[in-house]
Structure 1
Amino acid sequence: MSRPDEPVEEPTIDDVYEQLETLAETVDTADERTEVRRTMRLVDRLSHNAAVGKVITEFTRKDKAEAFVGSVVVGLPMLVEDGIIAIGAYLATHPALLLANLAFTAALVVGILYVADFREVQIHDPYAGVVPRRPVWVLVIAFATAAGLMTLWGRVGWDEPWLNLCQISVVFTAMAIGGSLGDILPGED
């Protein structure tokens, strides 16, 4: 028995996992083994979240800055490619494909943020009680960055707004992917 003045060693996730492994060897029924394995998977997930960082719940100015940097890093090479001009011109003549590309982009962002298990991201305080803030901001930041840089670098002149918007949408797709990755990939929180 420990004395009150002795420091108590704090248990770790590894200690819990070892105890569960010992328990798995001693249980008698298949149902008990299943329950122990289920608990071990939960401990694995908790240790994964602890190793990668805390659960992401808020979308702060720092997250917006990370989304911007991710957008620039991934999208910058696209800005100098002439293929974006040709693809944008094609999308301008096929509005249904433009809509499909925008939906694809939004689905990719949601998938990266909430489905691909990079980090646990939870939805808090959605717009109108339904629309999550994080993907909205990532998409807005990516689009504003694409439009701003394409205008700044003379890739679009806004003399043909529909065509220019379609050309921007091509860079926007890459920047949205970069923005979502920049926002959630592990780093210091």
Structure 2
Amino acid sequence: MEDRSEKDQPDVDEVLDELTDLRDSVEDDRQREQVDKTISLVTQLPRRERIRRRIGKYTTRDAAETFVGGIIFSLPLLVEDGVFDIAEHFTTTQVLNVPVFLIANVLFIVLVTVGLVYWADFRRVDVSKPILGFIPRRLFGILCISFMVATGMTLLWGRAFDGDPTNIEVIGRITIIWAAAAFGGAIGDILPGESQGKDLAPENF
């Protein structure tokens, strides 16, 4: 009987789904504010499986978590001289003067980041209010912040121009650190769950 009654109880994720759909369809600001308050109350309900909580908003705290995760994951690579060898491989292996492995590495970073955020079973992450109607804000934020972390740390620790590399080798070194920073940033963002705070949406500025 107890198991059946628990099974018949509404799932909080389903309630949040319905409320989010309602918020997106409401045009009146006051009504939308009421829906947001209701969503906030629902997310504060005690749950046995908080790890399954849905992530919809993208806040400044999410960006900070990406920044911290990117630094933590990129630090081990910054002290490895193997980064130089990989960067040289990226830039010297070319097809029709195009560094195909360097380009492939950038695509690899983007695809794996997408997989960690939206396909891996860490959290249920929604795409809401995308940039230009099709670029997910969270993905854009993770990739940009992690790239800035990679560039900044590579320059700060003197790893960018060590050994008098070519300009394209410098880019190659940064992309290697970027890979670790992007993966760490994605995990740092989504593992803690949805952050409280102001949603970083264009209409909120």
Is this a same-fold pair by TM over 0.5? yes
- 2:122 equivalent to 1:118: yes
What letter matches 1:186 in structure 2? P
> Match of 2:84?
85
Deviations 1:113-156 (A, max 9, x none): 00001111100111111111111111111111111011011101
Larger radius of gyration: 1
- 2:181 equivalent to 1:175: yes
**In 2 relative to 1, CA 56–135 (structure 1 residues): closer, same or farther, beyond 3 Å?**
same
> Match of 1:61?
60
Q: Which runs of 5+ in 2 are unaligned?
A: 15-45, 94-98, 196-205
**In 2 relative to 1, CA 162–136 (structure 1 residues): closer, same or farther, beyond 3 Å?**
same
> Match of 1:108?
112
CA RMSD across the alignment: 2.9
Deviations 1:55-98 (A, max 9, x none): 21121110010001111111110100000111011111231111
Under a length normalisation based on structure 2, what TM-score does the superposition of the two structures give?
Answer: 0.68
Per-residue deviation, 1:177: 0.4
* 1:81 match: secondary structure: coil
Kept in 1, the 8 Å contact 2:53–2:193? The answer is no
Kept in 2, the 8 Å contact 1:49–1:55? The answer is no
Distance in 1 (alpha carbons) for counterparts of 2:80 and 2:88: 14
Distance in 2 (alpha carbons) for counterparts of 1:174 and 1:127: 25
Distance in 1 (alpha carbons) for counterparts of 2:4 and 2:184: 34
Distance in 1 (alpha carbons) for counterparts of 2:140 and 2:170: 22
- 2:144 equivalent to 1:131: no
Kept in 2, the 8 Å contact 1:49–1:119? The answer is no
**In 2 relative to 1, CA 44–59 (structure 1 residues): closer, same or farther, beyond 3 Å?**
closer
Instruction: Calculate percent identity across the aligned residue pairs.
Output: 37
**In 2 relative to 1, CA 44–128 (structure 1 residues): closer, same or farther, beyond 3 Å?**
closer
What letter matches 2:91 in structure 1? A
Q: Which runs of 5+ in 1 are unaligned?
A: 1-11, 21-41
Distance in 2 (alpha carbons) for counterparts of 1:91 and 1:145: 21
Q: Which runs of 4+ in 1 moved over 4 A?
A: 42-50
What letter matches 1:98 in structure 2? L
Under a length normalisation based on structure 1, what TM-score does the superposition of the two structures give?
Answer: 0.73
**In 2 relative to 1, CA 163–52 (structure 1 residues): closer, same or farther, beyond 3 Å?**
same
Distance in 2 (alpha carbons) for counterparts of 1:74 and 1:58: 24
> Match of 2:50?
51
